[in-house]
């Protein structure tokens, strides 16, 4: 066995786990320490908003594979070629996509647009089902178990209309007078319209959209941190074992030569 | 060998964790200052709007000088407290101003021409919107202050906080008077 290679692999895994562990701890604190604000009075900058998802236009989006109504979707179609001589070749992605359409987040008394590009989204629905054609002929509720002749796998994630969401990102607002710009001045009966959009932060902070409340978000980050720590520790032990094996192996090979 | 690598891993993880704790304390401390700045912006905006409101009221209220004077005096009090950076004083001055404005709006009810005035309606709506936003941002400020105060007292952050300059933040109270019991006898005696 190539214990040197195993040791190198484990060391890389340990380093990666350590970095992810520290990043998860940082995110845990960020989620816990960022106060929740209301859309109507939110200042510009990195904020945490909580509200219900709503379509940005008159009609909600339609999911590409299942045609279900939603405000955000992502999908992937994978194909598995069966080869009689070599068995299954494994799933190859043949089509995928992620919605970039903005949607609205409605809190108690105001709304905010959410631009989901580059967001880390925890969907409310995640379905995997199978079929025989590149486009599914059935809805996700059926065909969840793969049949022998199913060669296509469909994966679809959705945020549905009305889902309760926590969004952490950078809020930008623009004010304008109903029917004109703010600079043009306001008449007695004109009202000031405030348009807010939350999107990916420019300073590298995480952009999270999750159908989870604060407690669930925190628990998730803590669980991730704990898992990364355990993975790192295991990798270190394996790395040390592989190094010892490599050293002993080299030593035992060297003895006959003496 | 194994023990050495585990100790090294744990030492790096602990160092990274402590650095994270320190940076987290810096962030919550900065968040308190940012929340205060965001609140201060609205206090300044309202400070600028109130003279306009009082001027419009003066045109219709010939005999309410005391009420208007009270609002302007409270406005000056908030500005002075804000400039001094004393959170407790801001809370007290803000209570005065809110009481003064409530009195002004109550008196305005007796002046139909004033109430019908476009300028008054617009300014009242603007000041009310600012008051609502100020109340919301006070909540955010208090949340940030509370997070800061819990962090610097809770273990293990307290250990790191003790070696740095992380003072506790004062909470901002506007509505202390509302907490007092309502005198039902006085209410029904009217």
The backbone torsions φ and ψ at residue A216, rounded to the nearest 5 degrees and listed phi first, read -65, -40
Residues B35, A189: C-beta atoms closer than 8 Å: no
**In this model, does residue A43 exceed pLDDT 60?**
yes
Helix, strand or coil for residue A145?
A: coil
**In this model, does residue B171 exceed pLDDT 80?**
yes
A243-258: per-residue pLDDT in tens? 888 887 766 655 444 4
Pair A61, A116: CB distance under 8 Å: no
Q: What is the ipTM of this complex?
A: 0.71
Residue B147 in domain: yes
Task: Identify all chain B residues contacting A236, using CB atoms and an 8 Å cutoff.
Answer: 5-6, 8-9
CATH value at residue B28: 1.20.1440.20
Task: Find the mean pLDDT for residues B99-126.
Answer: 87
- How large a percentage of chain A has pLDDT more than 90? 47
Write the CA distances from B71 to A244, B78, B127, integer angstroms: 80, 11, 13
Residue B31 in domain: yes
- How large a percentage of chain A has pLDDT more than 70? 84
Point out the residue among A26, A38, A243 whose CB comes nearest to the CB of B20: A26
- How large a percentage of chain B has pLDDT more than 90? 26
Residue B1 in domain: no
With cut-offs at 50, 70 and 90, classify the pLDDT of residue B141. very high
A6-35: per-residue pLDDT in tens? 989 999 999 999 999 999 998 889 988 998
**In this model, does residue A191 exceed pLDDT 80?**
no
Which residue would you say has higher pLDDT here, A52 or B180?
Answer: A52
Q: Write the burial class of residue B107 (CB in 10 Å: 0-12 exposed, 13-18 middle, 19+ buried).
A: middle
Residue B3 in domain: no
A49-104: per-residue pLDDT in tens? 999 999 998 889 999 999 999 999 999 999 987 665 666 678 889 999 999 999 99
State residue A224's pLDDT score: 92
Pair A169, A201: CB distance under 8 Å: yes
Gap from B149 CA to chain A (nearest CA, Å): 11
**In this model, does residue A184 exceed pLDDT 70?**
no
Number of domain units in chain B: 1
Residue B180 in domain: no
Task: Find the mean pLDDT for residues A187-195.
Answer: 58
Point out the residue among B1, B13, B27 whose CB comes nearest to the CB of A240: B1
- Range of B93's domain? 18-173
Please list, residue by residue across A148-176, b when 16 or more beta carbons sit within 10 angstroms of its beta carbon and e when fewer do: eeebbbbbbbbbbbebebbbbbbbeeeee
B41-60: per-residue pLDDT in tens? 999 999 888 889 888 888 88
Q: Is A99 left (phi over 0), alpha (psi -120 to 50) or beta?
A: beta
Residue B6 in domain: no
Residue B27 in domain: yes
Pair A116, A99: CB distance under 8 Å: yes
State residue B107's pLDDT score: 85
State residue B101's pLDDT score: 87
State residue B185's pLDDT score: 58
Q: Mutate which of B2, B9, B123, B142 to disrupt the A interface (most A C-beta within 10 Å)? A: B9
User: Residue A129 and residue A156: Cα distance in Å, rounded?
Assistant: 9
Pair B36, B42: CB distance under 8 Å: no
**In this model, does residue A127 exceed pLDDT 80?**
yes
Nearest to A228 by CA among B16, B96, B48: B16
State residue A254's pLDDT score: 52
Helix, strand or coil for residue A127?
A: strand
State residue B65's pLDDT score: 80
State residue B152's pLDDT score: 93
* Parallel, antiparallel or unpaired: strands A120-122 and A208-210: parallel
User: Residue A209 and residue A159: Cα distance in Å, rounded?
Assistant: 10
Task: Identify all chain B residues contacting A38, using CB atoms and an 8 Å cutoff.
Answer: 136
Residues B136, A240: C-beta atoms closer than 8 Å: no
Residue B2 in domain: no
Range from A60-69, A147-156, A202-211 carrying the lowest mean pLDDT: A147-156
**In this model, does residue B18 exceed pLDDT 70?**
yes
Q: Which token pair is B53?
A: 């409101």
Instruction: Supply the mean pLDDT for chain B.
Output: 85
State residue A182's pLDDT score: 44
**In this model, does residue A181 exceed pLDDT 50?**
no
Write the CA distances from A19 to A121, A208, B93, integer angstroms: 21, 19, 49
B82-108: per-residue pLDDT in tens? 888 788 888 888 888 888 888 888 888
With cut-offs at 50, 70 and 90, classify the pLDDT of residue A189. very low
């Amino acid at each position: 066995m190539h214990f040197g290679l195993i040791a190198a692999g484990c060391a890389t895994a340990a380093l990666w786990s350590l970095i992810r562990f520290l990043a998860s701890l940082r995110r845990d604190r960020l989620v816990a320490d960022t106060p929740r604000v209301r859309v109507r009075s939110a200042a510009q900058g990195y904020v945490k908003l909580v509200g219900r998802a709503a379509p940005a236009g008159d009609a909600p989006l339609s999911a590409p594979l299942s045609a279900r109504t939603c405000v955000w979707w992502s999908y992937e179609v994978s194909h598995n070629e069966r080869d009689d001589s070599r068995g299954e070749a494994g799933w190859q992605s043949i089509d995928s996509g992620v919605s970039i359409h903005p949607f609205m987040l409605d809190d108690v008394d105001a709304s905010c647009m959410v631009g989901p590009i580059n967001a880390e989204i925890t969907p409310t629905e995640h379905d995997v089902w199978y079929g025989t054609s590149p486009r599914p002929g059935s809805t996700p509720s059926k065909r969840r178990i793969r049949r022998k002749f199913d060669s296509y796998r469909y994966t679809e994630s959705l945020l549905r209309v009305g889902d309760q969401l926590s969004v952490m990102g950078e809020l930008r607002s623009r004010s304008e007078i109903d029917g004109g710009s703010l600079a043009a001045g306001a008449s007695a009966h004109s009202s000031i319209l405030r348009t807010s959009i939350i999107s990916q932060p420019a300073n590298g902070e995480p952009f999270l959209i999750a159908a989870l409340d604060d407690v669930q978000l925190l628990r998730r980050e803590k669980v991730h941190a704990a898992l990364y720590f355990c993975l790192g520790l295991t990798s270190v032990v394996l790395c040390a074992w592989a190094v010892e094996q490599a050293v002993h192996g080299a030593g035992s090979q060297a003895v006959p030569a003496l | 060998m194994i023990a050495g690598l585990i100790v090294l891993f744990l030492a790096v993880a602990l160092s990274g964790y402590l650095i994270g704790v320190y940076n987290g304390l810096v962030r919550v401390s900065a968040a308190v200052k940012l929340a205060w700045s965001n609140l201060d912006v609205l206090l300044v905006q309202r400070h600028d709007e109130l003279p306009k409101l009082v001027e419009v009221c003066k045109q219709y209220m010939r005999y309410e000088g005391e009420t208007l004077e009270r609002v302007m005096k409270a406005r000056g009090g908030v500005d002075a407290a804000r400039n001094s950076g004393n959170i407790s004083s801001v809370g007290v001055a803000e209570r005065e101003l809110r009481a003064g404005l409530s009195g002004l709006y109550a008196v305005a009810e007796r002046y139909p021409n004033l109430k019908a005035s476009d300028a008054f309606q617009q300014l009242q709506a603007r000041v009310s919107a600012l008051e609502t936003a100020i109340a919301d941002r006070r909540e955010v400020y208090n949340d940030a202050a509370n997070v800061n105060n819990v962090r610097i007292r809770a273990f293990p952050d307290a250990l790191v906080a003790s070696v740095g300059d992380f003072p506790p933040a004062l909470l901002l109270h506007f509505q202390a008077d509302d907490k007092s019991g309502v005198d039902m006898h006085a209410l029904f005696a009217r």
